[in-house]
Structure formats: C-alpha cells, structure tokens
Structure 1
Amino acid sequence: MILHINVLDKGYVRLVNHMGSDLTVVNAARVSYAKQSEALTEKDIRLIRFLAREGHTSPFRHAVLQLEIYAPLMVARQWWKYIVGSAHYEGTGDSLEAWNESSRRYITEEPAFYIPSAGQWRGAPENSKQGSGGLVAWELGEKYTRELMEYTQLGIQKYEAALADGICAEQARLFLAAYGLYVRWYWTASLQSVAHFLNQRLEHDAQQEIQDYAKAILNIVKTLFPVATEELLTRQQA
C-alpha cells in the first residue's frame, strides 16, 4: 500500500489513517433495506456506479481518509478553500472535514522553502489573467531561481536575528517569504470530499504545483477505494 509520496522539491503526502473500503460505500447504501455485503461483488460494483451516476453521495461520506501534507503555503491556501466550502458545496452538507496545521507561533524549526529549478519557471498565459503558460527560457529561469534563493535566505537571516534578539516567534515570522514557505498539516476528509478536490485540481487549468499534490493523493485514494474513486472521478468529469 502506498503510504508516502514525495511532491515538488521537499514536499510530500503521507497516509496517516483511513476508515472503510469500497464495501463501506455499498453497505452504507444497503442499510436502508437492512442488507449487508460481506465481500465486494459485481452487483456491488454496479451499485457504486449507480450511486455515483445518480448523485446519491451520502454513502461515499462514510469512507474517510486522514493525510499528512507538507506543501508550500501557496498550495495550502488554495487547498483550504475546500475546507471552508465543504459543508455547502452542491448542497451536500458534508461536514466530514478537519484541518490542523503547524504554526510558527509555536514552533521555530528551520524554515524550508519551495524553490523552483531553472527549468520550472512558467510564463504568463496569453489569454487569461490567471494561471500560467509554457516554460520560460532556461537562462531567465536560472536568474529567478538564484534571486529567489537570495531573497529567502535574507528573510531567514532576519528571522533568526529577531529570535536571537528576543522577538516573539509569531512576529519574527513576518520576515519569512510567505508563499514559498513549507507548512505541514493533517487533512481528514470523506471520500466524497477528496473526490471533489481531485476532480477540480487534476484539471489541466489548475496550478501545476497543486496538480502535483492531487496526483499523489489520487495514487493513494485509488489504492484504498479503487472502484468508488474511478466512478466518482469519471461521473463528475463526464
């Protein structure tokens, strides 16, 4: 079973725990008729397909994942929108969401930053105000990799100097370059919520960095819930 997948230069997604399987979805649906399956059958697979196709989503909320994620702040804040909206999207009332994040109010571990390599910088899109276009020339990318490294190192030096002078950690952190700063959090979510996240963040127009995390989560989720994951993603992308 896939437990840990590295993402970007320093990030990762780690499976902490999970509850249920494809059979959980089936039995959550069949309880209405006081029935239960002991092993997943072709009939059960057809039921999962029917539930996904017809939008009967509550059985998918009985399967739950708990993940530890280490990602740049710019990714975390995009991700956070799914927690804020989870109780309301599509009228599902899905509240099986939890998010607990490390805080530099309390910890002073060595800061880590996402630094794109020279070959990873993207240009602005031609016909949109957001997103990105193709890769820029290597020479331009090399310039901005170098400048970003210098910028973040200056921030680290000032952050450490402030701590050494007795400034509290919650204010000293203001010197750190925020968007590239890696943060760590636990995300606990129902299978339906995870599928909703994947359907949006696996799309080609999603930011590349969060796409990379979505692909890692997809590898974990389809290992745990192969049938339900395929049906939820297929039906919602249709």
Structure 2
Amino acid sequence: MSFIQVLDQGYVRLVDKMGSDLTVVNAARVSYAKQSKELTDRDIRLIRFLAREGHTSPFRHAVLQFEIYAPLMVARQWWKYVVGSAHMEGTGDSLDAWNESSRRYITEEPVFYVPRKDEWRSKPDNSKQGSGQPIEWEKGEAFTASLMEYIEQGLEKYQAALDAGICAEQARLFLPAYGLYVRWYWTASLQAVCHFLSQRLEHDAQKEIQLYAKAILQLSEAQFPNAIAQFIKKEEVK
C-alpha cells in the first residue's frame, strides 16, 4: 500500500524511500567498522537501544518522501516540523524538504474541506486542547451549510477576478483560506518523521492532523517496521 485517503478529499501517498531498518543498524555499526548483511534479532536489539538512549543520528540516514493533499490549516501546522527540524536534530541544517503547489501559477479547480454535520466540535474545557466533544448535529448541519455558502461566494469572486484579467497570485485572495486543499511533497529523515508522529498522534493534537499522522504511520511502518516501532514507543513513553 502506498496511498491512503484522509478526510473527505485528502490523501497521503508514499512517493519514495531510501533505506530500511538495516540502514539504521549499519549507520550505527560503522563506528566499529562493522556491517550487517541481514537484519537479525541482535540488530533489532540495537535499534531498540539507539531509540531508548536517544542516539538518533543513525535514524537520519533513512529517508521517506510523501505527497500530501490536505487543508491549509493542516499544512501550516505540519510546516512547523520543517522549520524546527534543524534544531531538533542538532545538525545546523534541516533534513526536511517541502515543495508545495502554488496558486501563483496554477488555477486548477479549488477544493475545500467542509466538515459534515456530525464533525463540528465544541470548545474544549482545557485550553491546552484544541477542541471538545461533537456539537449537536442540528447546529452542525447549519454550520456546514453556512460554510458551503461562504465558499461559494469566495469562488464566485475569485472567478470574477480571473475573468476580469486579475493575475492568479492576487485573485486567490478571494478564496477562503483555511479549508482550501493544498498539495505538497514532504521529504524527511526517519528521525524527523518519528518526531512528527510522536507529537501529532497524541490525543490532544488537532483531530484532522491526527488522521494524517495515522496515515503517515501506516505507510512508514511498512517500510521501517522495527525502527518506527521502537522510536515511536520511546517518544510516547517520554
């Protein structure tokens, strides 16, 4: 599996990957000029040790590349992990790459995330949590209809601006922003992916980005089953 549908129209696709669990092992064993040809129980114990003790540099020698299609509100939360990658890994240079489609250049049909009537959530009791329990479906139905109406108004103004000869990079100002789907490539070290997962799989993360994190986890653990299991386990205990 290399493709997982998320939300109503979003998705995560595994584009490419470099390395395997053995890559992590051999990156660590090179300190003693040793190399494993096949993954053994001893190697798995080494991965467990590296994750437990915080020896993270071997995890940076494996890389994953994803194509992601998500609402802008998810994309901008996600972007923080690219900005913070260099600080997290202590390398002075980010091991993350991000390339996003731009409405300066393309005018493909805008797509928006619209929560269903049973997907609207209430204010949280704790300010550290983004949302609370689902609201009554009657209220949700009204807000879904209101949001769709708002989007239609924005689309009409956007198209009118384009038809009047306004450039795409300015016409896009009329598009409602946070629910607008955007597409990007995210290339990251295995450590950076695990760091993202350890935080966005938490129960208090925004639900929408949790769903994307679960898709990233599912695609990643198929490629790095031992490394993902040990690293995520270590981060969650922490």
Structure 2 length normalisation: TM-score? 0.97
Matched residue, 1:235: 234
Amino acid in the other structure paired with 1:97: D
Partner Cα separation in structure 1 for residue 63 and residue 95 of structure 2:
8
Paired residues for 1:42-53 under 5 Å: 42-53=41-52
Give secondary structure in 1 for the equivalent of 2:86.
coil
Give secondary structure in 1 for the equivalent of 2:78.
helix
Which 4+ stretches in 1 moved above 6 angstroms?
none
Partner Cα separation in structure 1 for residue 14 and residue 34 of structure 2:
31
Amino acid in the other structure paired with 1:141: G
Partner Cα separation in structure 2 for residue 199 and residue 69 of structure 1:
19
Matched residue, 1:174: 173
Instruction: Tell me the CA shift for residue 81 of structure 1.
Output: 0.4
Deviations 1:182-233 (A, max 9, x none): 0000000000000000000000000000000000000001100000000001
Deviations 1:7-50 (A, max 9, x none): 00000000000000000000111111111111100000000001
Which stretch shifts more, 120-129 or 39-48? Answer: 120-129
Matched residue, 1:135: 134
Q: Which runs of 5+ in 1 are unaligned?
A: none
Let me know the Cα RMSD of the aligned residues.
1.0
Matched residue, 1:31: 30
Give secondary structure in 2 for the equivalent of 1:88.
helix
Partner Cα separation in structure 1 for residue 113 and residue 79 of structure 2:
18
> Number of matched residues?
237
Paired residues for 1:154-173 under 5 Å: 154-173=153-172
Amino acid in the other structure paired with 2:169: E
Matched residue, 1:21: 20
Give secondary structure in 1 for the equivalent of 2:16.
strand
Query: Do the aligned partners of 1:61 and 1:94 also contact (CA within 8 Å) in 2?
Result: no
Matched residue, 1:121: 120
Paired residues for 1:201-220 under 5 Å: 201-220=200-219
Give secondary structure in 2 for the equivalent of 1:96.
coil
Query: Do the aligned partners of 1:152 and 1:177 also contact (CA within 8 Å) in 2?
Result: yes
Residue 62 (structure 2) pairs with residue 83 (structure 1): no
Instruction: Tell me the CA shift for residue 127 of structure 1.
Output: 2.8
Which stretch shifts more, 123-132 or 179-188? Answer: 123-132
Instruction: Tell me the CA shift for residue 92 of structure 1.
Output: 5.2
Matched residue, 2:151: 152
Paired residues for 1:94-113 under 5 Å: 95-113=94-112
Give secondary structure in 2 for the equivalent of 1:87.
helix
Amino acid in the other structure paired with 1:228: A
Partner Cα separation in structure 2 for residue 90 and residue 20 of structure 1:
19
Give secondary structure in 1 for the equivalent of 2:188.
strand
Q: Which runs of 5+ in 2 are unaligned?
A: none
Partner Cα separation in structure 1 for residue 93 and residue 197 of structure 2:
16
Amino acid in the other structure paired with 2:75: A
Question: Structure 1 residues 207 and 190, CA, compared in 2 at 3 Å: closer, same or farther?
Answer: same
Query: Do the aligned partners of 2:129 and 2:205 also contact (CA within 8 Å) in 1?
Result: no
Query: Do the aligned partners of 1:86 and 1:93 also contact (CA within 8 Å) in 2?
Result: no
Query: Do the aligned partners of 1:16 and 1:68 also contact (CA within 8 Å) in 2?
Result: yes
Partner Cα separation in structure 1 for residue 232 and residue 92 of structure 2:
20
Partner Cα separation in structure 1 for residue 25 and residue 147 of structure 2:
50
Matched residue, 2:8: 9
Amino acid in the other structure paired with 1:45: I
